[in-house]
Chains A and B, each alone.
Chain A
């Protein structure tokens, strides 16, 4: 140690005799409420899961087997499939601290491309479907490019894109619906996701199976691949992610492109669900998907939450909608309760965030 630093550093000499044992702390007594809070912090998607199970049980008690039957429960799955698929795309974007208001428009546009390419130009239906999927991915790419490279706020980019795509959709389709019978006769592949598997009273459409498979694949990708970790890192703190070696722009563009592709799949599933290709359908998909994501516990500030939560969030909305309808309640009660749920979900999110570890 040199002369100059010697006198000023005497105090550090004691450090040489430091204790090396690993610090041990007594587990604090948390109490029941504290324990719950801690558990929710570790597993944020538990909140929507608990709400989902509780609402199924409550409606089951109130309506008995009318609600608690394989038919009614799988009906809920069929009713949420479109929102569920779109919400999966929305989750990815929201995890990067963005938002995608154009999801519904991309979905409808893709379904119109699939339908019109087949019926107006006589292109083979397989090629038209591929073109529809490509169309969704391309719009997603433009969104991603504007967000990542031009650095415009995602809200503005997708607000604009929503209007652009929706207007293009109406102009291109001339507001014409392709009827269900025609599709059934000439291009049944467009209705592929409408096929059902029935066992007992339960009816699962391919669209429902696709939604569930999609959520599981995305959950795997987010948790167990480098790409998934990068999505979280970018949403958490983009500058830190950039400095620690993440290609932020590429990650963002890939997320918006994937979201566009998933929305295009939702457009395909939409044809299966409603039978026809209609440029006026799916207008509320963007708001409904954001609702599912928020109720599912994904933070709008990015980087936190799990895609399983989104699935639970979409199902909660489905359970409330069907349950209240079976109760004979005015449909407005559904919207009122969903509004309460959204605010409660964010409240719970803030509460569980107060716990560290």
Chain B
């Protein structure tokens, strides 16, 4: 089967530090691929390279078998790749609806939208409200409240809802449950499975092994700037995975770069 998102030989250097060292990456259609690795292993650089936030020095990225060249996150977004960054990428002083539609605002129909460029607030708020209720985030009382007034978990919920609402080909989640309470984490995991059931593949970066082993179809173990191995969570335990990513244990030869 042809991977929907594929990267070959990615290299990214920051000065003398090599964050990505001839790294490969494959995401199959409809799967949940977890990416795990120690701090500084280059997970974030890998994700940024495939989502357009970082321009790799070398290497190629393919989407649906077609060579793509992302120079900004906007390029990746236009191709249907949505990313929830660890920093969440939200403007604190703006409202939830403004943030969800940042960069893809809906304008009013007719003269006011075309010539006065007026935004259709009511429509954007309605969609934002629907997406948040789908996620069970209705503890947010007012869709027009500024993002800075939300709790950490609520902010994360809004960011995930934004990606789920607009991602059409690939959704990338960087530590989506890190700031969440038990109930909200469960919601996000349910949402991940829900998105998968709609046929959209997901890349999940997480340090939370129980969450990774619960939802992932395959696990990409990242170590020292490259892909160490790809394992099936049904064949290994969490301690095996931790051992591979910390280098305590050699990966099984069969799974190397599988």
Which of A233, A241, A356 gathers the greatest number of chain B CB atoms within 10 Å? Answer: A233
Asked if B91 is an interface residue, CB under 8 A from chain A, the answer is: yes
Number of A residues near B (Cβ < 8 Å) is 38
- Whether B72 contacts A229 by the Cβ 8 Å rule is no
Instruction: List which A1-59 residues lie within 8 A (CB) of chain B.
Output: 1-2, 4-5, 8-9, 11-12, 15, 18, 20, 22-23
- For the complex, is B39 an interface residue (Cβ under 8 Å from A)? no
Q: Contact mask B67-95 → A, CB, 8 Å, 1/0? A: 00000111001000001010111111110
Q: Which residues of B contact A356 (CB under 8 A)?
A: 148-149
**B136 in the interface, Cβ–Cβ < 8 Å?**
yes
Which residue on chain B has the smallest CB distance to residue A18?
B183
Tell me if B90 and A242 are in contact (CB < 8 A).
Answer: no
| Contact among B53, B149, B213 for A4, CB-based, below 8 A | B213
A164 within 8 A of B: no
Contacts A/B (CB < 8 Å), 15 sampled: A1-B214, A9-B214, A220-B116, A224-B117, A224-B119, A226-B105, A229-B119, A233-B91, A233-B94, A237-B92, A239-B89, A240-B87, A243-B89, A245-B77, A245-B104
* Chain B neighbourhood of A229, CB < 8 A: 94, 98, 102, 105, 119
A357–B145 contact, CB under 8 A? Answer: yes
Contact A244 B99 (CB under 8 A): yes
Note all chain B residues with C-beta closer than 8 A to A230.
Answer: 102-103
A223 → B minimal CB distance (Å): 9
- What are the 10 closest A-B residue pairs judged by CB atoms, nearest first? A245-B103, A243-B89, A226-B105, A233-B91, A236-B91, A240-B89, A225-B117, A244-B102, A23-B139, A5-B214
Task: Please list the residues of chain A having a beta carbon within 8 angstroms of any beta carbon in chain B.
Answer: 1-2, 4-5, 8-9, 11-12, 15, 18, 20, 22-23, 220-221, 224-227, 229-230, 232-233, 236-237, 239-247, 303-304, 356-357
A34: min CB distance to chain B, Å: 16
Please, which residues of chain A bring their CB within 8 A of the CB of B93? 232, 236, 303-304
CB-based contact A226/B119 at 8 Å: yes
Does B127 reach chain A (CB closer than 8 Å)?
A: no
Contacts of A304 in B (CB 8 A): 93
Q: Is B30 an interface residue (CB 8 A)?
A: no
Residue of A nearest to B212 (CB): A5
How far is A203 from B170 in the complex, measured between Cα atoms in Å?
62
A236–B214 CB distance below 8 A: no
CB-based contact B118/A246 at 8 Å: no
The stretch of B3-11, B58-66, B233-241, B250-258 in contact with A is B233-241
Known A-B contacts A2-B214, A224-B118, A225-B119; A240 and B91 likewise in contact (beta carbons under 8 Å)? yes
Find the residue from B99, B117, B148 having the highest chain A CB count within 10 A: B117
Q: Does B249 contact A (CB under 8 A)?
A: no
CA distance in complex: A94, B146 (Å)? 20
Contact B73 A242 (CB under 8 A): yes
Instruction: Decide yes or no: A236 and B94 within 8 Å by CB, A20-B136, A22-B138, A22-B139 being known contacts.
Output: yes
CB distance from A298 to the nearest CB of B (A): 12
Contacts A2-B234, A225-B117: A232 and B103 contacting too (C-beta < 8 A)? no
B183 / chain A contacts, CB cutoff of 8 Å: 15, 18
Verify B103–A227 contact, CB threshold 8 A: no
B92–A243 CB distance below 8 A:
no
